Amino acid sequence: MPRRIVIVGGGGAALRAALGAKTVDLKADVTLISDEKLTFYSRCALPYIIEGEIESVEKTVSPDPPGTKLLRGWKAVDVDPSGKTVTAQNLETGREETFQYDALIIATGSRPFIPPVPGKDLKGVFPLRTDKDLRGLQSYIKPGGKAVVVGARFIGLEVAAALKTKGMDVTVVELLPQIMDGVLDPELAKTFQKYLEERGVKIYLNSPIQEIYGRENVEAVKAGDKKFEADLVVMATGVRPRTELAQKAGAKIGKTRGIVVDERMRTTVEDIYAAGDCTEIKHLITGTPWPTGLGTQAYRQGRVAGINAAGGDAIYPGTLGTCVTKIFDLEVASVGLTRAYAEKFGIKAVAATYKPYIRAEYYSEDKAYIRLVARVPDGMIIGAQIIAPYEAGARANIMAAAMMKGVTVDELTNYDFCYCPPVANVIEGLALAAEGLSRRLLRLRKRGR
């Protein structure tokens, strides 16, 4: 009898789980249950669809995994670990069906977190998580209209840029004292904020949302001590893992609200795996639980869960949080810890920021901001931040590969980078930043700090 694998979810983790399972066992009976009608589309693409860079959500949809039974528009409502069954309900008809499994993979993702403020349910107030959210939000976009975006991390700033491109008057309000908290140190956050403001995006920090005003439709937002007119409000205030099914199964939920999994994506319940935004994972530098929130993490976790559920052996070691975005004409990338976050975790660190030419200076005047963070006293690199018109993501990937191997700043100065005037400078910017940080570390060592 073929191995029965049930996957609950319709995103990247679920897709990769199905594909991973089939790489190990082509005869496996794989059933995928998703409460969304549209599956395997890119949530990360939604702001760029708003902007018009991508035609539609449908353009981002990945092909169905071969040899998989797909139940779209069905919600997994119960699980019985002792009997190894999952019960699902058709959301249109209400009909229920029970599925037997040998291995269950929970890839239920996350849902938007909306602060419980008055007026949050007014028309014109949207999160941006699903294709349904996208369609609703798009219906309120009008040139000359006023939009307030709540939250200044990836989604918030990507949406702000998209709405500005569409001709709206855009205000971003942020609870914290900087934008891109956890992605950029305050120094680079200020640089990037200035860039956004020069392009017409108004940003207010230390401004927690207090209330949303309106009769039926949104009319204004109060954040901090200020009130802003609004025809559209986008709540980019984070997400929370969807763990209801895992909790029914008795799986342990961790400090970050995600499902606790080991390096093989096993939950605390036998033969139940989990992957993607619904889980918490280990940070490779701090060793502490870390929330999953990146598509890259979900894909890799899903693959590992699928392989292991099918009888294979794969490991997901943890994360460095490598990430990148493109907002207007700049890429912003980060890997590992900022210095501010290193200090929060009790790690003594030193950082240096440089602004090198990306190519030979006589060929192009384009520069990048590169900030490296190293642990004191051994000089192991624990973070990198890059802002550049291009190749910021590529440099973050280089740093991720290096940091996975525990590279030090001194070692990075000797990396064998390439050079050609129209392509790369004779001394790679990462090496220049490492040289500067190495000198700073040397001074600290001489002082005995």
Residues 35 and 67 in one domain: yes
Do 381 and 424 reside in the same domain of the chain? Answer: yes
Whether the pLDDT of residue 115 is over 80: the answer is: yes
Q: What is the pLDDT of residue 448?
A: 67
pLDDT for position 79:
98
pLDDT band at 442 (very low <50, low <70, confident <90, very high): confident
Q: Which two tokens stand for residue 22?
A: 């089939």
Query: Cα–Cα distance between 125 and 273 in angstroms, integer?
Result: 35
Torsion region of 308: left, alpha or beta (phi above 0 gives left; psi -120 to 50 gives alpha): alpha
Q: Which two tokens stand for residue 260?
A: 């606790």
CATH number, domain of 222, equals 3.50.50.60
Residue type, 321: G
Q: What number is the average pLDDT over the span 161-174? A: 98
Residue 316 domain-assigned (yes or no): no
Kindly state whether residues 127 and 228 are assigned to the same domain: yes
**In-domain check, residue 78:** yes
Give the domain range for residue 342. Answer: 323-446
Q: What type of residue sits at position 310?
A: A
* Annotated catalytic residue 420: no
Shared-domain flag, residues 227 and 375: no
Residue 419, pLDDT score = 96
**Cα–Cα dist 363/419, whole Å:** 13
Q: Percent of the chain at pLDDT above 90? A: 97
- Residue where a domain terminates, one of 185, 211, 235: 235
The residue from 44, 278, 323, 420 that is catalytic is: 44
**Residue 183: inside a domain, yes or no?**
yes
Mean of the per-residue pLDDT values for the chain? 97
pLDDT tens-digit map of 201-211:
999 999 999 99
If asked whether residues 226 and 253 sit together in one domain, one would say no
pLDDT of residue 92: 96
Residue 6 has pLDDT above 70, yes or no: yes
Domain count, the chain: 3
**pLDDT tens-digit profile of 395-415?**
999 999 999 999 999 999 999
Same domain for 331 and 441: yes
Residue 413 and residue 346 in one domain: yes
Distance CA 361, CA 117 (A): 51
Q: Of the given ranges (342-346, 386-390, 442-446), which has the lowest mean pLDDT? A: 442-446
Residues 6 or more apart in contact with residue 363 via CB below 8 angstroms: 421, 422
Query: In terms of DSSP bridges, do strands 125-126 and 349-354 run parallel, antiparallel, or are they unpaired?
Result: unpaired
| 38 found inside a domain | yes
275 within 8 A of 19, measured Cβ to Cβ: no
Please check the confidence at residue 449 and state whether its pLDDT lies above 80.
no
Q: Does the residue 54 lie in any domain? A: no
The structure's pTM equals 0.95
**Measured CA distances, 34 to 74, 108, 113 (Å):** 6, 8, 21
Work out the average pLDDT over 320-337. Answer: 98
* Domain identity same for 131 and 30: no
Domain shared by 352 and 282, yes or no:
no
393/384 Cα distance (integer angstroms): 11
Do 341 and 400 lie in a common domain?
Answer: yes
